[in-house]
Amino acid sequence: MRWDRAERPGLAGRASLMAAGLISVFAPGSEGARAQVPDAGSPGTLQLCAEDENSYPWLLRDRSGLNMLMVRLLGQHLGLRFEVALLPWRRCLLSLQEGGVDGAFKASFQPERLKVGRYPMRGGQVDAERAMLEESYHLYRLKGSAVSWDGQQLSQLDGAVGAQAGFSIVAWLRQQQLPIEASAKAPDAILGMLQRRRLGAAALQTSQGDYALSRNPQFAAQIERQGPPLVSKPYYLMLSHAFVRQHPALAERIWDGVAAVRESAEYRQALQQALASGTPTP
């Protein structure tokens, strides 16, 4: 692996996103991209949603980040227009399931999410070659704490493990039979509970946890990332069941386009720059 609608949703639901000021529009263009011509009958505009929390370097609340770059390049590559709403993650997935949006990113694979929407598949299995990215989760603890993860076992945990509501790590923590606190959606809120000793540790996406520490000196002074990743997994652009039923060939072209953009020179250069400099990509 290489890394570095049967019916369109009602206008009222989409108009509410526009009214909330959550939509960002990416129009197709020709800047360094060889745009394809959309098939007759293909929708000119696709509605997508993503989480409304900072996840450096992938997506920030100011709409910078590599995910937004990928969506822009994907639109150029396919000759499509994308509109992106930033929503709480649970609401984003619910909107996908109900057909309020055509797609959602970035989502790890969970079997139970197959009722929510569709992943790129090959041979009956989710196709990691057409993922947007690979991301990990790490354990975060108070400095001086004895709690630790050695890659196999979590030891000396004193209290619950904090995790973001609706995130896949919650199911993993349950499989480990660990006490969980998953009422908060923002990493800052979870780290704040850890700082106040209301948690024994936190399990956060590495990009989000590290970004929160880098932006908050008080967190950085008291909290550290510990050990190897808890888990590492691919993350995907999911498409709604309705969209795939109505446009099956276009859905495959979109997922193929994700892989092509991920391996493109422009995207790989932006990825290396973001990781090296700590500067978000607009």
207-220 pLDDT, tens digit per residue, is: 889 989 988 999 99
Domain of 103, CATH number, reads 3.40.190.10
Instruction: Answer yes or no: do 115 and 246 share one domain.
Output: yes
Instruction: Answer yes or no: do 204 and 218 share one domain.
Output: yes
Instruction: Answer yes or no: do 195 and 104 share one domain.
Output: no
Q: According to the model, what pLDDT value does residue 10 have?
A: 39
Instruction: Answer yes or no: do 140 and 263 share one domain.
Output: no
- Report how many helices (DSSP H) and strands (DSSP E) the chain contains, helices first: 10, 13
207/138 Cα distance (integer angstroms): 9
Mean pLDDT of 189-218: 94
Q: How does residue 273 score in pLDDT terms, banded at 50, 70 and 90?
A: confident
Instruction: Answer yes or no: do 228 and 245 share one domain.
Output: no
Does residue 88 belong to any structural domain of this protein?
Answer: yes
Does residue 126 belong to any structural domain of this protein?
Answer: yes
Q: According to the model, what pLDDT value does residue 207 have?
A: 83
Where would I find the H helices in 143-247?
A: 169-175, 187-195, 206-215, 217-222, 241-246
Q: According to the model, what pLDDT value does residue 39 have?
A: 52
pLDDT digits (tens, 9 = 90+) for 231-256: 999 999 999 999 999 999 999 999 99
Mean pLDDT of 177-181: 96
Does residue 216 belong to any structural domain of this protein?
Answer: yes
Is it the case that residue 176 has pLDDT exceeding 70? Answer: yes
Is it the case that residue 32 has pLDDT exceeding 50? Answer: no
Q: According to the model, what pLDDT value does residue 42 have?
A: 67
The boundaries of the domain holding residue 168 are: 135-232
Q: Residue 56: which of 191, 206, 258 has the closest Cα?
A: 206
CA angle 198, 107, 37 (to 5 degrees): 155
Instruction: Answer yes or no: do 163 and 198 share one domain.
Output: yes
Instruction: Answer yes or no: do 182 and 210 share one domain.
Output: yes
Q: According to the model, what pLDDT value does residue 234 have?
A: 96
Q: According to the model, what pLDDT value does residue 61 have?
A: 87
pLDDT digits (tens, 9 = 90+) for 51-105: 998 888 899 888 889 999 999 999 999 999 999 999 999 999 999 999 999 999 9
> CA torsion sign, 142 to 57 to 255 to 87?
positive
Q: According to the model, what pLDDT value does residue 23 have?
A: 45
Q: How does residue 125 score in pLDDT terms, banded at 50, 70 and 90?
A: very high
Does residue 4 belong to any structural domain of this protein?
Answer: no
Mean pLDDT of 155-160: 97
Query: From residue 214, how far is each of 101, 148, 206, 271 by CA, in Å?
Result: 33, 22, 12, 19
Is it the case that residue 272 has pLDDT exceeding 70? Answer: yes
Tally the domains of the chain.
Answer: 2
Q: According to the model, what pLDDT value does residue 165 have?
A: 86
Which tokens hold the place of 17?
Answer: 């996103």
Q: What percent of the chain is predicted at pLDDT more than 70?
A: 82
Instruction: Answer yes or no: do 193 and 64 share one domain.
Output: no
50/18 Cα distance (integer angstroms): 15
Does residue 2 belong to any structural domain of this protein?
Answer: no
Which tokens hold the place of 167?
Answer: 């995130």
Q: According to the model, what pLDDT value does residue 34 have?
A: 45
Residue scoring higher pLDDT (26 or 259): 259
